[in-house]
Amino acid sequence: TTDTQTGETIDGFHLLIDALKLNGIENIYEVPGIPITDFTRLAQAAGMRLISFRHEQHAGNAAAAAGFLTQKPGICMTVSAPGFLNGLTALTNATTNCFPMILISGSSEREIVDLQQGDYEEMDQLAIAKPLCKAAYRVLHAQDIGVGIARAIRSAVSGRPGGVYLDLPAKLFSQTMDAAAGKKSLIKVVDAAPKQLPGPEAVQRALDLLKGAKRPLIILGKGAAYARADADIRTLVEKSGIPYLPMSMAKGLLPDTHAQSASATRSHVLAEADVVMLVGARLNWLLSHGKGKTWGGDKAADRKFIQIDISPIEMDSNVAIAAPLVGDIGSCVSALLAGMGSNWAKPPAEWTQGIAERKDKNISKMAETLALNPSPMNFHSALNVIRNQVKARPDAIVVNEGANTLDFARSIVDMYEPRKRLDVGTWGIMGIGMGFAIAAAVETGKPVIAIEGDSAFGFSGMEVETICRYNLPVCVIVFNNNGIYKGTDKNPLGTDMAPTQFVKGAKYEMMMQAFGGVGVQANTPAELEKALTEAIKSGKPTLINAIIDESAGTESGRITSLNPATAKKKT
């Protein structure tokens, strides 16, 4: 008993709602069911935005994207066992991408689960989640809900952001406690993601290396986009005069049309640079682990890396890091700027002019390809339409998944503003499409253009109903080439269709029509342009079925080399 007791009580449902609201969390991405159905109703009645999905994986992906876009943990809620497992894929993907999110799942009763007596949806969810996310907690008592939420928020957003699991057994929701004591038990988290300042010697070491470089290069990753140090990052690039490469989700941090962007001559700069500064980008498979042919083979031995990252153990994960700069990107970049002084020498013109020439050549070549108008459309002629629309609406958010659809869109569709591109991320995962698109629309209110391979779209396609239900300004463009990679594979036995083929001439636009949205088939760039312009103008849920030459595309797009092939030659 406490001296604040009034006789009024509060239950677990309301404590959870109050704890989330107290910490500025407004949106919950979820699928209702036992034991969280009433929670979803009560939270909505309390003024929170509840977005109900058709499958937990997409609710989870939405929460992850919300985390990336807002720096607040995105919240996903699911039922027990299967719902939890469906959400777990998204939680693990968020952790891999360093996006902050919290998966809250209802669970069965501990007494029964622990004795394995066969409860409804019995599963030891906490134990399963633990190795697959950044942190995992369970709350057993109503008076600990405040602490549970506070720990989950801190774990998600501090240091390297990631996914957190919070296990809430069914019984907790209806537990009651004294209302005043309950209110007191809640925690408003102060400084959830504390700054981490780099040491002065580490800053000097990095500056010394940069100063001595003849062929310096900056690589910006999605950590740099997440950090929201946009102005300082731009100043660093411009003041230093160093060419830069954006990783796919860092596109737009500076406009892709920026004079210092080396995107259009990526292979050249990776192979030739002598000092490379990584800003929120890991030397994982997407950067060929910092070694080998991509990095100039023998030349790799003399290259020096500077790496800015909040995670100290990221350093030396693949190759030696000569100048580790550990801290939050905002603090590290501003320390570098302060140390650069006012008369920083630009890199040798030989390096920057060489890049400019190569880049101009590749961009002109690309322009020629984009100007062609083949029938049926190919990836280039369809993406050229989207490229122009994004140029006209740089605030629109682009979601992108597929293999060829992803690879071509990445280099064709220029981005102009930070955090406007959401894609398959570190795992190269298919299925993020509709979840990311829904969160982008909910969190920003901006138009969303989801550029989807027909295969990629299939993983989350049912969520077009969700898009229609909430009337979200999402335009899905399905690049329909009748299959995975392409639609022309043959089954040598002539029995079933080949494993990579889909139904030919599928009417994807009818999926959107089924739920009251706009569905259009586009056979030409003009038709695509008309439908997309209309979609952006009206803000109505729209699906454009863009018919692409079924022989266009290559196996696995630009990462064919990762595909093991049989030693036996195809006949």
First to last CA, the chain: 81
| Part in contact with ligand FYN (CB under 6 A); list of ranges 168-176, 332-340, 382-390, 550-558 | 550-558
Phi, psi at 479, each rounded to 5°: -85, 95
Sequence-distant (≥ 6) Cβ neighbours of residue 306 within 8 angstroms:
206, 209, 210, 275, 276, 277, 278, 321, 322, 323, 324, 325
User: What H or E segment, with its residue span, contains residue 401?
Assistant: strand 397-401
- Nearest Cα neighbor of 423 from 54, 64, 59 is 64
- Which residues within the stretch 207-266 sit at the binding site for ligand ADP (CB under 6 A)? 221-223, 226-227, 247, 249-250
Q: Is 286 in the site for ligand ADP (CB under 6 A)?
A: yes
Q: Between residues 316 and 360, which has the closer beta carbon with respect to ligand ADP? A: 316
Options 81-89, 308-316, 490-498, 520-528: segment touching ligand ADP (CB under 6 A): 308-316
Beta carbons of 30 and 40 less than 8 angstroms apart:
yes
Nearest in space to 452 (alpha carbons), one of 562, 545, 324: 545
Q: Please, what is the minimum distance in Å from the beta carbon of residue 433 to Mg ion?
A: 13
Distance CA 149, CA 188 (A): 9
Name the pairing type of β-strands 216-220 and 275-279. parallel
Using the contact rule CB under 6 A, the part of the chain among 79-87, 182-190, 326-334, 553-561 near ligand FYN is 553-561
In whole angstroms, how far apart are CA 54 and each of 336, 430, 466?
47, 17, 7
Write the binding mask 394 to 423 for ligand FYN: x where contact by CB under 6 A, - elsewhere: ---------x--xx--xx------------
Q: Is residue 362 part of the contact set for ligand FYN (CB under 6 A)? A: yes
274 Ramachandran zone, left/alpha/beta (phi>0; psi -120 to 50): alpha
To ligand FYN, the closest distance from the beta carbon of 411 in angstroms equals 3
Q: Tell me the torsion sign for CA atoms 21, 226, 533, 409.
A: negative
- Interacting residue with ligand FYN among 248, 307, 466, 542 (CB under 6 A): 248
Stretch that binds Mg ion, among 9-17, 98-106, 219-227, 448-456 (CB under 5 A): 448-456
557 in contact with Mg ion (CB under 5 A): no
| 407 makes contact with Mg ion (CB under 5 A) | no
Strands (E), 247-344: 275-279, 304-309, 323-326
Nearer to ligand ADP by C-beta: 49 or 195? 195
Task: Closer to ligand FYN by CB, 63 or 413: give it.
Answer: 413
Query: Nearest to ligand ADP by Cβ — which residue?
Result: 223
Selection from ligand ADP, ligand FYN, Mg ion, none that 443 binds (CB < 5 to 8 A by kind) is none
Which residues, numbered 281-340, are part of the site for ligand FYN (CB under 6 A)? 286
Shortest approach of ligand FYN to residue 282 CB, angstroms? 12
Residue 317 found at the interface with ligand ADP (CB under 6 A):
no
Alpha carbon distances (Å) from 526 to 409, 506, 539: 18, 21, 20
Nearest CA to 187 among 151, 219, 217, 163? 151
Among 216, 280, 402, 435, binds ligand ADP (CB under 6 A): 280
Q: With beta carbons less than 8 A apart as the criterion, state whether 545 and 478 touch.
A: yes
Q: Does 481 bind Mg ion (CB under 5 A)?
A: yes
Which spans of this chain sit near ligand FYN (rule: CB under 6 A)? 248, 263-267, 286, 362-363, 366, 403, 406-407, 410-411, 424, 428, 430, 556-559
